[in-house]
């Protein structure tokens, strides 16, 4: 299901939206608009719900008392994301365990704490902006998670934690957990800025198998590099099996 507003570079000016059911198979993809009548009730089960080019004003134009979508995944693209917006999304969706926020228009008071307040069943999150204290918020949740992906081009926001704090959080989550930080940097010589934030207990891991992953996009050379790390306990367990 897709809730879509007008295509614009400024989500704040979007005031209305439409709901579309997306059907796809091996050969084609089709879209059917659903006319939501205020006098009817709509309960929809779907694999994912996507909100694209949305604002809270556009979302509130939908009769939230008549629509409920049961879904596994939420994808928020090119939209203005505030806590009020997320609260309204939570009113019309249920059951989500995966959330992808792919937009730079995120209010400063949107945190992992507020996100989990609205969507308590999440275990996989992708978000394209970091904030100071994000790791402290994740650690204080006391939840077992599967995967966290954070992308940003601000080094100070991304690495606003102590090395032991990061290691302890990742280790506590268990061997199947993955935390990936994706950051843009000017050139390869800036990699040294990251090294002080890597706790000595982390061991180098094979690409794709890391509990903690740092991926870097170098702006000048237009290249990327990835560093995978595993927790010492997992590394020693794997070595013991060989």
Dist CA 131 CA 108 (whole Å): 8
Q: What whole-number distance in Å separates Cα of residue 25 and Cα of residue 23?
A: 7
Residue 17 has a pLDDT of: 73
Give the pTM.
0.87
In the numeric block, the tokens 């929809």 are attached to 44
In this predicted model, what pLDDT tens digit does every residue of 42-80 receive, in sequence order?
A: 888 989 999 999 889 888 888 778 889 999 999 999 999
Rounded to 5 degrees, φ, ψ at 177 are: -80, 145
Tell me the pLDDT of the chain (242 aa) as tens digits: 888 887 666 666 666 777 877 666 655 555 666 666 666 788 889 899 999 998 898 888 887 788 899 999 999 999 999 999 999 999 999 999 999 999 989 999 999 999 999 999 999 999 999 999 999 999 999 999 999 999 999 999 999 999 999 999 999 999 999 999 999 988 777 788 999 999 999 999 888 889 999 999 988 777 889 999 999 776 555 545 54
Residue where the block lists tokens 């990327």: 224
How many residues comprise the chain?
Answer: 242
Question: Distance between CA atoms of 151 and 210, rounded to whole angstroms?
Answer: 17
CA-closest candidate to residue 123, choices 103, 105, 102, 149: 149
Backbone phi and psi for residue 186, each to the nearest 5 degrees, phi listed first: -70, -45
**Pairing, β 178-185 against β 212-218:** parallel
Domain residue ranges in the chain: 1-116, 130-242
- Among residues 202, 191, 129, 133, the alpha carbon closest in space to that of 162 is found at 133
The CB density around residue 85, as the number of other CB atoms within 10 Å, is: 26
> What are the tens digits of pLDDT across the range 130-161?
999 999 999 999 999 999 999 999 999 999 99
pLDDT of residue 204: 92
């Amino acid at each position: 299901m897709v809730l879509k507003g007008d295509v614009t570079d400024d989500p704040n000016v979007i005031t209305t939206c439409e709901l579309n059911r997306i059907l796809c198979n091996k050969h084609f993809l089709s879209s059917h608009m659903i006319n939501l009548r205020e006098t009817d009730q709509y309960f929809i089960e779907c694999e994912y719900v996507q909100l694209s080019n949305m604002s809270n004003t556009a979302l509130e134009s939908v009769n939230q008392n008549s629509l409920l979508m049961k879904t596994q995944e939420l994808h928020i693209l090119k939209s203005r994301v505030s806590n009020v917006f997320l609260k309204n999304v939570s009113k019309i969706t249920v059951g989500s365990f995966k959330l992808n926020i792919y937009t730079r228009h995120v209010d400063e008071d949107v945190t992992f704490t507020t996100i989990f307040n609205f969507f308590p069943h999440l275990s996989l999150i992708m978000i394209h902006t970091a904030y100071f204290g994000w790791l402290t918020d994740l650690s204080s949740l006391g939840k077992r998670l599967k995967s966290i992906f954070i992308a940003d081009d601000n080094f100070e926001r991304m690495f606003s934690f102590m090395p032991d704090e990061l290691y302890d959080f990742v280790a506590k989550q268990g061997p199947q957990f993955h935390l990936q930080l994706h950051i843009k940097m000017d050139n390869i010589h800036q990699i040294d800025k990251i090294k002080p934030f890597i706790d000595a207990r982390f061991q180098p891991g094979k690409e794709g198998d890391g509990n903690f992953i740092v991926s870097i996009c170098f702006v000048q050379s237009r290249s990327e590099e990835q560093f995978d790390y595993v927790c010492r306990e997992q590394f020693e367990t794997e070595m013991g099996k060989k």
